[in-house]
Amino acid sequence: MVADRLNVLNAGATIPISISLGGQNRFQAGLNVQPYAIASNGPTALRGYNGTAHATQLAALKDLLAQAYPDPLTRTYNATFNDAMDYYNAMTTALAGSAPLQTTFPANNPLASALQMIARVIASRTALSAKRQIFFVSLGGFDTHDNMLEDQPGLFTTLSQALGAFYQATSELGVQDSVTTFTMSEFSRTLNTDGDGTDHAWGGTHFVMGGAVQGGRLYGTPAASGGIFPDLTLNGPDCLQRGQMIPATSCDQYSATFIGTLARRQRLRPGDDLPVPRKFRERRSRVPELTPRCARRRSVGAAARSLLNRRRCAPLRPSWCAGCATRAGRTRWHRAPC
């Protein structure tokens, strides 16, 4: 849905606005825009049809794709196949023409490899005629159960080193103020054991990184207990059961914070609908009004310094400012003038 709204800003681009290095995912899937999936080593070629040795097979395939088909399923498959071939050619050509990155990414780090490819795609944005891009990567292994103390430090090291190198790469390209990286998940851990360590839970904390981020601050929506950090009492006001913290902000509302900033930069009108699930809103969420205060920028280092407490239930108010972090009468959100 996000890509559907922003796709008009990418007129003339030779690839989709959404690019995934984590396979197909619901976050990037819209009504009209679907993500283009590539690998850490670049776009995937059509095996058996590339190179001069397979010229005959490729010619036959192109002949099949040029045919007119009566049923919608075949037409859709045909269009998708043609698009994939066009995207591969455009991406391969653009990557081959871009200068190599000087930033060193850590070895044996799959997240770093994916982020390195994203940096290369960003470096090739002019050749791709891309003005806005939405990237998706994933990192698993957090279902730690009884091994949390052993596994989590390594996971955090993988994450920290990969993000540090990626931020350095955006600085090398001069786009650190235009690239914002954030984590998002509905997967957290219980605060008590199910007999095998921590179990699946709900609300958690996340962070945002980028040159335009006002770092070193805590952002969040007040929970039922009143604070941006939950009351950790088992079966307390912020606990569902067994140490599962109830979120105060949905993933969609959390990401709408960044959409609101894009809206101002790209002149989407305040009041335009944002894609927020019906169960987690009292009214349709809107593009927030942004105040001049939001334009303040402060560079952050390679390590992410801005934590966001992402919890679920309270709706995003239409007049909340998505770019700064105080709320009228509190010190959390700034309310823009109506």
Q: Which residues sit opposite 248 in a β-bridge?
A: 312, 313
| Cα Rg, the chain, nearest whole Å | 22
DSSP E strand boundaries for 33-128 = 36-37
Give pLDDT tens digits for 156-170. 999 999 999 999 999
Give pLDDT tens digits for 101-156. 999 999 999 999 999 999 999 999 999 999 889 999 999 998 988 888 899 999 99
Q: Output the average pLDDT for the chain.
A: 77
Whole-prediction pTM: 0.75
The CA angle 325-301-211, to the nearest 5 degrees, is: 55
Residue with token string 């958690």: 204
CA 319/CA 338 separation, integer angstroms: 7
- Nearest-10 Cα torsion for 138, 123, 88, 106: -40
Contact 228, 221 (CB under 8 A): yes
pLDDT band at 40 (very low <50, low <70, confident <90, very high): very high
Half-sphere exposure of residue 329, counting CA atoms within 13 Å on the CB side?
2
Is pLDDT above 50 for 327? no
Contact 288, 260 (CB under 8 A): yes
**pLDDT at res. 192:** 86
- Which 8-state DSSP code applies to residue 185? -
